[in-house]
Amino acid sequence: MSTNSKEPALNPSISLTPSPSPSPSQGETSPARRVQRVRHETRRRTLQVKRVEDLSPGLRRITLAGDELAGFVSASFDDHVKLIFDAGDGQARPAVMRDYTPRRHDAAAGELDIVFALHGDGPAAAWAAQATACQPLVVAGPRGSFVIPLDYDWHLLAGDETALPAIARRLEELPAGARAIVLLMVAPADRRPLASAADVRLQWVDDGAALLAAARALDLPAGEGYAWCAGEAALMAALRRVLVDEKGHDRHAIRAAAYWKQGAIAHHENLEA
């Protein structure tokens, strides 16, 4: 298991700025003021499949490698890169792009892991289902990172299966002594142990209603905490309202992201108020 008790190393050429937040009153500290946004040089890289591994019936990990991976930086567990797929039908059509989380980047080994959900009929799932060694894939980004410090008193991580790679990566990063509450909506067949040195309280749920009910049932710990949520747009907006409006969590200490939206194609957005 890989754990990291320090902030991710940053390339000196990267532009780093604090996340904008309201000025705290005298004697108060805003949790959002410690979060940093990092900008990266955007590059397209043509990589090759090195390994393919089935993690569960519905999840496949594909390891990419290649000389062009040199200089790649992923400073946060919720970074996303664009995977660029050829239309593949022999027609002069634009390539298709989809956002994915870098599950693991090992600069020394020259490897990048991406985890794919195999269900559905989209271009990413179709490509992952037939991927074989040495097959090329174009990867662009990440354009930036949203770096959340490791030393909050507690961390809340919640989402559906699209958030699973990011949450798994974050749990591996949290050091011993950290406290994490995890709510995950994942099909039973795709549930598996998540490695972490932290004190983790993990709850699996079957659907969106159960996810919201689990959030409502939480007793949020005392101290400075940060909540991170990702998944379907409407569900994550509802989850954010539960945490902020119903549970009273600081609205400046939460990041809620829509990784997809029911009925939409290639949807990705950060959800605010």
At 262 the pLDDT is 83
At 10 the pLDDT is 29
At 185 the pLDDT is 98
Question: Between helices 233-241 and 208-216, what is the axis angle to 10°?
Answer: 10
- Its pTM stands at 0.85
Q: What is the pLDDT of residues 53-85, one digit of tens each?
A: 999 999 999 999 999 999 999 999 999 999 999
At 34 the pLDDT is 84
Closest CA to 158 of 31, 273, 256, 269: 256
Q: pLDDT below 50 — which residues of the chain?
A: 1-30
C-alpha–C-alpha distance, residues 112 and 103, integer Å: 8
Name all domains of the chain by residue range, CATH numbers in brackets.
44-144 (2.40.30.10), 149-271 (3.40.50.80)
At 273 the pLDDT is 54
Write the burial class of residue 202 (CB in 10 Å: 0-12 exposed, 13-18 middle, 19+ buried).
middle
Q: What is the pLDDT of residues 131-178, one digit of tens each?
A: 999 999 999 999 999 999 999 999 999 999 999 999 999 999 999 999
At 24 the pLDDT is 36
Closest CA to 166 of 88, 97, 255: 255
At 64 the pLDDT is 98
- Indicate the pairing of strand 225-232 with strand 254-260: parallel
Helix (H) or strand (E) segment spanning residue 89: none
C-alpha–C-alpha distance, residues 111 and 129, integer Å: 20
